[in-house]
Structure 1
Amino acid sequence: MSLLGNILWLILGGFLTGLGWWLAGLIAFISIVGIPWGKACFVIGQLSFMPFGKEVVNRADASGQEDIGTGLLGMLGNVIWFIFAGVWLALAHLMSALICFVTIIGIPFGIQHLKLAAIAVAPIGKTVVDK
């Protein structure tokens, strides 16, 4: 079922949103200061390409060890991200989810938009894993 959902997601706009996230990541990598946010954009892009059958977890829980993105600096990075980009991206995904929830067929896609909204709020220190 995840394969069919991911194929439909890619056809109905997931491919373009994933490319958009990766382009934003490349732009963030141009400046040295933007590297943490660029990495976060690549994580969100990875999820945006194929969200069905994936979940977002804390990187410390997945790897079993703390790193710079899961500590205090990661939290500070998430606060900066939330103020300048996260809130707006999350609202965009929430609006897309509401539009998808209008139809019965769109409900699974709305759930994926909610997943993307959650990671768009605070992506630093998170990773995407298979369910």
Structure 2
Amino acid sequence: MNLFLNIIWIVFGGFAIAIEYIVSSVAMMCTIIGIPFGLQTLKLAAVALVPFGTKVLPSSPSNGCLNAILNVIWWFVGGIPIALTHVGFGLLFFITIVGIPFGVQHFKLARLALNPFGKTV
């Protein structure tokens, strides 16, 4: 079932979302300061390409303070607009019964878009 839902997701916008994340990741990695943020955007791209069956788990708490600081910086760099976009799409998908699983995946992406540091895909 996850394979079928992932195929539908990719055909109806998941591929475009993943490409946007990859392009923005490459743009962020052009500077040394942007490399950590570009790596987190690649994480978002991986989940955006195949969200069904993908688990997002907390990583080891060894650098928890650094993760918190980088997440706060990330909010201002682009995390809040990305999360609001996913929340908007999630609400749009919740209008129909068929779209509910896709809305749930957008909410999962919004949660990851707000706090990508300290998470493992």
TM-score class, shorter-chain normalisation, is: over 0.9
Aligned 1:102-113 pairs, distance under 5 A:
102-113=95-106
Report the Cα distance in structure 2 between the residues aligned to 1:42 and 1:124, rounded to whole angstroms: 12
1:74 matched to which residue of 2?
67
Separation (CA, whole Å) in 2 of partners of 1:2 and 1:46:
15
Long gaps (5+) in structure 2: none
Partner of 1:21: 21
Report the identity percentage.
39
Which ranges of structure 1 fall in alignment gaps of 5 or more residues?
none
**Root-mean-square deviation over aligned CA pairs:** 1.1
Opposite residue 87 of structure 2, the aligned amino acid is L
Aligned pairs for 1:52-71 within 5 A: 52-60=52-60, 66=62, 70-71=63-64
Distance (whole Å) between structure 1 residues aligned to residue 105 and residue 44 of structure 2: 12
Corresponding residue for 1:124? 117
TM-score scaled by length of structure 1: 0.88
C-alpha displacement of 1:84: 2.7
Larger relative strand fraction: 1
Could you list the structure 1 runs, at least 4 aligned residues long, displaced by more than 2 angstroms after superposition. none
Normalising by the residue count of structure 2, what TM-score does the alignment of the two structures yield? 0.95
Q: Which residue of 2 aligns with 1:93?
A: 86
TM-aligned CA deviation for residue 77 of structure 1? 0.7
